[in-house]
Amino acid sequence: MDGLNDYRRVRVADVLSDFRALQHHIAAAPTEPPNIEDYYTEGWAALRQCAIDGHHILECAADTSVPEEEDEAEQEKAELKQILLDSYARRHEAQKIYLRQTAAQSWIVNREAVLQGGRPHQGNLSLLAACDQQLRAELSTITDEIVYDELLLSDQAMGRWTAEDPSLRRVQRWLRARRR
């Protein structure tokens, strides 16, 4: 026994708490535009996809397969490491979804500033296209590497124990295994 199971339990609890908070933010975001004509615009489509992705990451099955260990503390260690991988990967994906939502909500604000309560017309189409382009640019910057690094830095800044956090590669493997 290595004596770290208390640290592992706290780490799992912290990551699960983060995931839960992210899920609340994801669920609270709007998915339907006030004007039905905007339903298929890029930002609203992105928000609907975020809601779908958020539901999926919440509902996908956990991998609970852990080899049987003879020692009770070693069994607990193996289970905690598996739970950490599961919760860590879910938090990672939820953070990506949340960042995409934030970009789409900024798009809504920018679009409304262009429309000023009106509707799209020849005079504002280029400005609306610029809003769409900015959204695409922001979404393209939300990568696994960036999210992983930002979460790790945030955890470290909060003084959290990160010694056994799963690698980005393990997180990506876990996520790929749960894609539809």
Q: What is the pLDDT of residues 75-106, one digit of tens each?
A: 999 999 999 999 999 999 999 999 999 999 99
Q: Which alpha helices (DSSP H) does the chain contain, by range? A: 5-28, 42-59, 72-115, 125-140, 144-157, 168-177
Average pLDDT over residues 161-170: 97
Is this prediction's pTM over 0.85? yes
Distance, in Å, from the CA atom of 28 to the CA atom of 60, rounded to the nearest integer, reads 20
Residue 54: give the domain boundaries.
5-177
CB-CB neighbours of 23 under 10 Å? 19
Structure confidence at residue 63 as a pLDDT band (50, 70, 90): confident
Amino acid, single-letter form, for residue 2 = D
Please tell me the distance from the alpha carbon of residue 162 to that of residue 8, in angstroms, as a whole number: 9
Task: Tell me the percentage of the chain whose pLDDT exceeds 90.
Answer: 88
Please measure the distance between the N-terminal and C-terminal CA atoms of the chain and give it in whole angstroms: 38
The position carrying tokens 């017309």 is 121
Question: How many structural domains is the chain composed of?
Answer: 1
pLDDT of residue 64: 76
Query: Cα(159)–Cα(164) distance, rounded to whole angstroms?
Result: 14
